[in-house]
């Protein structure tokens, strides 16, 4: 990460003290950091402390005559490789979503043409408030990147839930792909440094499948489709042509992406086969392993006798595609949702299915992964296991697609 420049916008919240450690660790890796503080931020940490760590002046006032003459908010907004907002308060998120520019921080965020990474931190009820969630959705649609918030105890007594600032290593990990000299970016060909999947076709499955028992009942898995949809959007943002095959979800279809809606595992397999060939396939859908051998045309009524449902195994979509001869994708990625022995089961699945990678996660009731916005995954390959810290599903998707793009580049180069 050497020779990169970051503009850090520090919002007003108790978590602002963590930014001191963030600056210190970034500087240790050779990153140049300039800081902008809101007026509220100065109530929690002093500009003197921040400036001592950045070894630079700290900018606070939009109408400071000297700062505007020597630097200027437009220059500040564009000299850095990445803008990080941490902690991003509910007020800052609202200003960003609404396009406000009434102080130095919000004006810089309106004027920047560089990637913006936001690390929210606030009370759980403020984070879960419909207005905040509406603003977050808008910002994500606008291309703003998020890391966190994490779940845990708040500074206030007896307050717990989503709203803790992501840990410093998580913020740095989320920032790394956006920096020109990061290990990830350095490994990508210069022509497509920001869109390394240009010219590639990525096929993603998402959501659950519904296997009907009768007209009103079905067998399904607890999947929201958030991770699969995020992967499709990340691949599209990196330049790929994307086909998304999704089971029944409440999520909107991603813009610019061909989306195919299915209900059953058999329908999903057929849609995947029609979607091939592809360079990368990511099987993030929670496909039901079993279906009813027969489907009643009428609702099964209570008659006193317990109904018996004869189950038959569904097609294994991951294994089917991974073992194709003519149309096998160059890179096949499967998902493994486990409640215990996560890595051990993922390693077995990698061998059994013939996939190139397995992305494994813990979906036990304590993790709140199913239906939630965060995830912590292990990327299992034949050579290694890479465990990532908890981060938003959007960040998991982006990192996964960057890793896949680099893997594809290397394998293509080796074949040539």
User: Could you read off the pLDDT of 86-126 as tens digits, one per residue?
Assistant: 888 899 999 988 888 888 888 888 888 788 889 898 888 88
Residue 140, Cβ density class (10 Å: 0-12 exposed, 13-18 middle, ≥19 buried): middle
Note the pLDDT of residue 66: 54
- pLDDT greater at residue 356 or residue 383: 356
Place of tokens 């999520």: 251
- By annotation, the residues acting in catalysis are 221
pLDDT band at 272 (very low <50, low <70, confident <90, very high): very high
Interval 225-236: pLDDT, tens = 999 999 999 998
Give the number of other Cβ atoms within 10 Å of residue 408's Cβ.
Answer: 19
Predicted confidence band at 369 (pLDDT cuts at 50, 70, 90)? low
What's the pLDDT band for 192 if we cut at 50, 70, 90?
Answer: very low
User: In the structure, what pLDDT confidence band is assigned to residue 286 with cuts at 50, 70 and 90?
Assistant: very high
> If pLDDT is split at 50, 70 and 90, which confidence band does 80 have?
confident
The phi and psi torsions of 312 (rounded to 5 degrees) equal -125, 155
Per-residue pLDDT of 129-149, as tens digits, reads 999 988 988 888 877 888 878
pLDDT at 208: 94
Residue 249 CA to residue 335 CA, distance in Å, equals: 18
Ranking 25-34, 72-81, 264-273, 395-404 by mean pLDDT, the lowest is 72-81
Buried b (16+ CB within 10 A) or exposed e, 213-245: bbeebbbbbebbbbbbbbbbbbbbbbbbbbbbb
Distance between CA atoms of 270 and 332, rounded to whole angstroms? Answer: 17
Q: Which domains does the chain have, with CATH numbers?
A: 5-185 (3.40.50.1950), 191-415 (3.40.50.10300)
pLDDT attached to residue 367:
56
Which pLDDT belongs to residue 183? 45
Please give the structure tokens belonging to residue 309: 């449902």
Mean pLDDT of all residues in the chain? 84
pLDDT mean over 33-53? 86
| Residue given tokens 């979800």 in the structure block | 249
- Taking alpha carbons only, the member of 256, 258, 241 closest to residue 198 is 241
pLDDT at 71: 56
Is 60 exceeded by the pLDDT of residue 182? no
pLDDT > 50? residue 186: no
pLDDT cut 70: percent of the chain above it: 88
pLDDT band at 295 (very low <50, low <70, confident <90, very high): confident
Q: Which pLDDT belongs to residue 189?
A: 35
For the ranges 20-34, 36-50, 168-182, 338-352, the lowest mean pLDDT is seen at 168-182
Q: How far apart are CA 60 and CA 286, in angstroms?
A: 48
Structure token digits, residue 97:
């979503």
């Amino acid at each position: 990460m050497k020779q990169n420049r970051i503009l850090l916008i520090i919002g007003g919240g108790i978590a602002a003290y963590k930014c001191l450690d963030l600056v210190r660790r970034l500087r240790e890796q050779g990153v140049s950091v300039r800081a902008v503080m809101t007026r509220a931020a100065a109530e929690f940490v002093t500009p003197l402390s921040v400036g001592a760590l950045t070894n630079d002046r700290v900018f606070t006032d939009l109408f400071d005559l000297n700062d505007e003459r020597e630097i200027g908010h437009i220059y500040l907004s564009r000299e850095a490789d990445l803008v990080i907002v941490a902690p991003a308060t509910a007020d800052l998120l609202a200003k960003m979503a609404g396009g406000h520019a009434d102080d130095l921080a919000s004006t810089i965020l309106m004027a920047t043409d560089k990637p913006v990474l936001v690390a929210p931190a606030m009370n759980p009820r403020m984070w879960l408030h419909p207005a905040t969630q509406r603003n977050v959705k808008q910002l994500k649609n606008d291309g703003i990147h998020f890391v966190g918030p994490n779940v845990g105890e708040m500074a206030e007594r007896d307050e717990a839930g989503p709203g803790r600032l992501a840990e410093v290593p998580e913020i740095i990990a989320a920032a790394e792909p956006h920096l020109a000299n990061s290990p990830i970016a350095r490994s990508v060909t210069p022509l497509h440094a920001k869109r390394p999947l240009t010219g590639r076709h990525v096929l993603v499955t998402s959501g659950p499948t519904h296997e009907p028992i009768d007209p009103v009942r079905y067998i399904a898995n607890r999947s929201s489709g958030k991770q699969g949809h995020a992967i499709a959007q990340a691949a599209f943002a990196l330049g790929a042509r994307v086909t998304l095959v999704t089971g029944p979800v409440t999520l909107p279809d991603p813009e610019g992406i061909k989306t195919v809606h299915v209900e059953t595992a058999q329908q999903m397999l057929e849609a995947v086969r029609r979607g091939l060939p592809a360079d990368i396939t990511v099987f993030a859908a929670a496909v039901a392993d079993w279906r009813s051998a027969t489907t009643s045309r009428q609702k099964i009524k209570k008659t006193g006798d317990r109904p018996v449902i004869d189950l038959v195994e569904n097609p294994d979509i991951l294994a089917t595609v991974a073992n194709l001869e003519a149309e096998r994708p160059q890179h096949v990625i499967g998902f493994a949702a486990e409640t215990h022995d996560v890595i051990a089961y993922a390693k077995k699945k990698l061998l059994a299915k013939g996939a190139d990678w397995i992305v494994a996660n813990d979906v036990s009731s304590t993790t709140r992964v199913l239906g939630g916005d965060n995830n912590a995954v292990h990327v299992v390959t034949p050579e290694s296991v890479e465990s990532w810290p908890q981060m938003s599903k959007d960040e998991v998707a982006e990192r996964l697609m960057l890793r896949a793009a680099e893997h594809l580049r290397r394998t293509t180069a080796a074949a040539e």
